[in-house]
Amino acid sequence: MAFLPLIKGVVFAAIGFLLGASATAGVRTLMHLDAWSIEPVVTMGYVLALVGWLLGIGVWDYWAREWLGLKPKEQVHIGWTRFLRFNTDHKVIGVQYLVTMLAIMLLAGLLAMLMRVELAAPGETIMNANTFNTTMSLHGIMMVAVAVATVMGGFANFLVPLMIGAEDVAFPRLNTLSYWIVPPVAVLLLATPLLGGFDSGWTAYPPLSVINASGQLLFLLAFLTFGFSSILGGLNFLATIMMLRAPGMTWGRLPIFVWSIFAAALISLTATQSVALGLLTVILDRVAGTSFYSAPNGGNAILYEHIFWFYSHPAVYIMILPAFGIVLEMIAHFSRKPLFAYKWVVGSFLLVVGLSFLVWAHHLFTSGMSDYLHLPFMVTTELISIPTGMVFLSGLGTIWQGRLWLRTPMLFALGFLMNFVIGGVTGIFLADVATDIHLQDTYFVVAHFHYTIMGGEIFAIVGALYYWFPKISGRMYAERLGVLHFWWLFLSYNVTFIAMFWVGILGMPRRVADYQPDMAGANLVVSFSAFVLGASFLVFAGNFLYSWLKGPLASANPWKARTLEWQTSSPPPLENFPSEPAVLGSPYDYGVPGAIHARLAPAGGSDGLTPQA
Amino acid sequence: MAIATRAPAHAIAPAPEQAVRHRSRLNINRLGLWLFIASDAVFFGALLSSRYYLQGVHTPAEVSQPLGLAITVVLLLSSVSAYRGETCAVHKDQKGFRRNILFTILLGVLFLGGVAMEWTFAFEHFPPHTGFGTILFVTTGLHAFHVITGLIALVVVFRLGRDGRFSHGNFWPVEGAVKYWHFVDVAWMFIFPTLYLVG
């Protein structure tokens, strides 16, 4: 039965929850405390529920049995039910991540629509301030999860082993585990309104996050769990890229997307531990009565901001570096030219990784941190525009005198360049202390990070969906609808967020359900344009749903691209390639006479080694 | 194919000195564990930093120095026996392997007992809601959690080793568990001075 593993996971989770909750209540009774105090009971219940869920979904059957000297079971590798199971095939996990994250993205997008309804006119329109705060916070954290995991979980899983000529990732079972950790995160976040919601935003600053409704606890547990998934994913990609490259796939021949994943994985492996500590300390302050953030007892809330941003600023590079990789990949293939300044781009990626750990305190310019820290963090932050600028120039240099093939993915790549330059330039005003003091916590900040993450990364993700859809699904999407979606999204997106810069400069604070009546006109423009933007995703969803079921069959290499994933069938077979590819040259030598990227054994009858002009 | 044969030699020649071979499973596992250790080290680094951020170098006079030193010695000794256990496994000395791993587990449990003693003592002088108490309980608690996971790994390895499974040459589970144990030990080498000796 298809749903059996899921049912088993849920049942085990329920048993785990009951065990954890009642054990906690028992211990608390012995300690003469209020036995059923909700937060400690829920926390321990959740920890065991998570263990139960993972064991039930397949960790026991396919893995943990080994630890007791038993033989693990055989996996199911055929039929659609493999997507609902513990399956170690990186392509299955990639699709699982993509579908899950797109569903969360559409849901979080709907929450944004609700916020814009509330903000379309001043005063209370459809929800009270508390509901607005929870809506805003949920939109934030769900979109952060989407921004982190759609590429690092979805595309990286599907593509990295294919692009480096490997059969799978270095730790396939760990990979499966990191996906199955995600559904409990989604359940917890969606359950937050049941316990009063949470009004802290996705940043969860104490002291508010220590004293507010219990929905906050569910948020903290969800974020902490998601961090584990991110760490395991980062570890897996680093090991995969370092150890499983096909013969001849030297570091200098790696597709740029793989390099970007390598750089992002370095960040998610290390920095995520810092936010894990931040969230854990807030949980302990709530549940165990410690006083990290309680000033009367020697705590200090600024500590949280340091720990939190030590992860969360590098985390924006977990989001944007793979987007750079995707965009450069598409620009090279659709410009039919070698990627300009490949080595400089790789150096820039690594420089971004290094600098990303030295900029966090620019989020604290107005927090009350010591003044002498302002200047150094302003300088390091502005330094980061050097490597990002080099990436940008590589894109422009590749397009320069190229013969552009303006299919949907390329349109999104060009849209990315347009949007990201606006996001980058407006960032300078926030890195600069003098202007930041005025702009901090206004809609200018909201518009800025939407320009980098939505106009930047989400445009890259949507472009990547069009680009790799034929490889993943084996079918072709409808090109005209793709082009329609691009222009619809691009125009409505820019109207929405340019107007948001304006209300931000006027001083409208973010994360507040109401505003001064004199900003009504500009906010109505933002709201109306946001609805148009939201509607464009109907075209997107309709196109992909229809094409996946009924679209025309795609060939192995519809873009005539040179990278390895296009040299095997669409979708690729379980073992990816008929035999191990031998890599002979750069993936981007379009137009270089006689250049070859890789040679595949003729067993599959693939002509993948034919150089593409 | 045809075009490939026409290509100039430099364009298609593989770079043998750089050619990447499939590394053995063992090397992949080793790398994975080191990456995990690097990641976990950041966690402890942030934890120790928060001690200095919140408390500076202030250490209450009531902190029990003899107890701290005693559990440090116990944990250091356990790393020695863990190393001996691993070496015995590689040399196919079943008895030595079992004896040393068992001894390591006992020392680990003894360490946890020492931490528990420290906790009962700390509850009187600096309970968890005070400034130093927060740091002490959370730091030792999270380290003890790592010790417990390390003990579970050692118990699993000990059980598997009883069937003579490691006589076939696959020592990775032993090596992995012991390396992790060393890491937990090294982490304590930073925690001990941070909690007991500074100030």
Of B23, B39, B46, the CB nearest to A235: B39
Which candidate in B37, B39, B47, B136 is best for mutational testing of the A interface (most A CBs within 10 A)?
Answer: B39
C-alpha span between A376 and A374 (Å, rounded): 6
Listing DSSP states for B94-138 in one string gives HHHHHHHHHHHHHHHHHHHHHHHHHHHHHHHHS-TTSHHHHHHHH
Number of H helices, E strands in chain B: 7, 0
What was the pLDDT predicted at A502? 94
Closest chain A residue by Cα to residue B23 = A243
Best mutation target among B1, B6, B12 (most A Cβ atoms within 10 Å) is B12
B129, B130, B174, best to mutate vs chain A, most A CBs in 10 Å: B129
B8/A297 CB distance under 8 A: no
Distances (CA, A) of A533 to A281, A287, A497: 39, 42, 11
**pLDDT value of residue A612:** 39
Averaged over A227-244, what is the pLDDT? 96
| Amino acid A33: pLDDT | 86
Domain assignment present for A18: no
Whether A291 sits inside 8 A of B129 (CB atoms) is yes
pLDDT for res A350: 97
> Between A244, A291, A306, which is nearest B134 by CB?
A291
Residue B125's Cβ-count burial label (10 Å; 0-12, 13-18, 19+) is middle
Look at residue A260 and tell me if it is in a domain.
Answer: yes
Tell me if A10 is assigned to some domain: no
pLDDT above 70: percentage of residues in chain A: 98
The answer to whether the CB atoms of A239 and B31 lie below 8 A apart is yes
Residue of A nearest to B14 (CA): A584
Segments making up each domain of chain B, as ranges: 40-48+64-197
Which residue of chain B has the CA closest to A281? B138
Range of the domain at A282: 88-550
Note if the bond before A207 is cis, omega within 30 degrees: yes
Question: Using CB atoms, which residue from B11, B55, B133 is nearest to A596?
Answer: B11
Instruction: State which residue of chain B sits closest to A307, comparing Cα positions.
Output: B46
Count Cβ neighbours within 10 Å for each residue of A319-344 and write b for 16 or more, e otherwise. bbbbbbbbbbbbbbbbbbbbbbbbeb
User: For position B9, what pLDDT does the model report?
Assistant: 37
**Tens digit of pLDDT for each residue in A479-535?**
999 999 999 999 999 999 999 999 999 999 999 999 999 999 999 999 999 999 999
Q: Does residue A613 or residue A185 have the better pLDDT? A: A185
The pLDDT of A14-20, averaged and rounded, is 96
pLDDT at A591 over 90: no
pLDDT tens sequence across A304-337: 999 999 999 999 999 999 999 999 999 999 999 9
**pLDDT at residue B44, rounded to an integer:** 97
- The single-letter code of the amino acid at A543 is N
Q: Calculate how close chain A gets to B18, using CA atoms only, in Å.
A: 6
Q: Taking chain A, what is the end-to-end CA distance rounded to the nearest angstrom? A: 49
**pLDDT reported for residue B167:** 64
In a domain, A45, yes or no: no
Q: pLDDT, tens digit, for every residue of A362-384? A: 999 999 888 999 999 999 999 99
Amino acid identity at A337: K
Which of B50, B55, B119, B160 to substitute to test the interface with A, most A CBs within 10 Å?
A: B50
- Supply the CATH classification number for the domain B40-48+64-197: 1.20.120.80
Nearest CB among A245, A298, A607 relative to B131 is that of A298
| Interchain pair B43, A276: CB under 8 A | yes
Confidence class of residue A155 from pLDDT cuts 50, 70 and 90?
very high
Give the domain CATH number at A372. Answer: 1.20.210.10
The count of structural domains within chain A is 1
- Mean pLDDT for chain A overall: 93
3-class state of residue A400 by DSSP: coil
> Hey, are the CB atoms on B12 and A584 less than 8 Å from each other?
yes
Across A457-484, average pLDDT: 96
**Contact check, Cβ <8 Å, A292/B6:** no
A360 is a domain residue: yes
Name chain B contacts of A287, Cβ cutoff 8 Å.
none
Residue of chain B nearest A245, judged by CA positions: B20
ipTM of this complex > 0.95?
A: no
From chain B, pick out residues whose CB is under 8 angstroms from the CB of A239: 28, 31-32, 35
A-B Cβ pairs (cutoff 8 Å, strict)? 152
Q: Name the H helices within A120-155.
A: 129-149
Question: pLDDT value at position A602?
Answer: 57
How many whole angstroms separate alpha carbon A386 and alpha carbon A382?
Answer: 8
- What are the pLDDT tens digits along chain B (199 aa)? 333 333 333 344 343 333 334 348 889 999 999 999 999 999 999 999 999 999 999 999 889 999 999 999 999 999 999 999 999 988 888 899 999 999 999 999 999 999 999 999 999 999 999 999 999 999 999 999 999 999 999 999 998 887 767 766 678 899 999 999 999 999 999 999 999 999 7
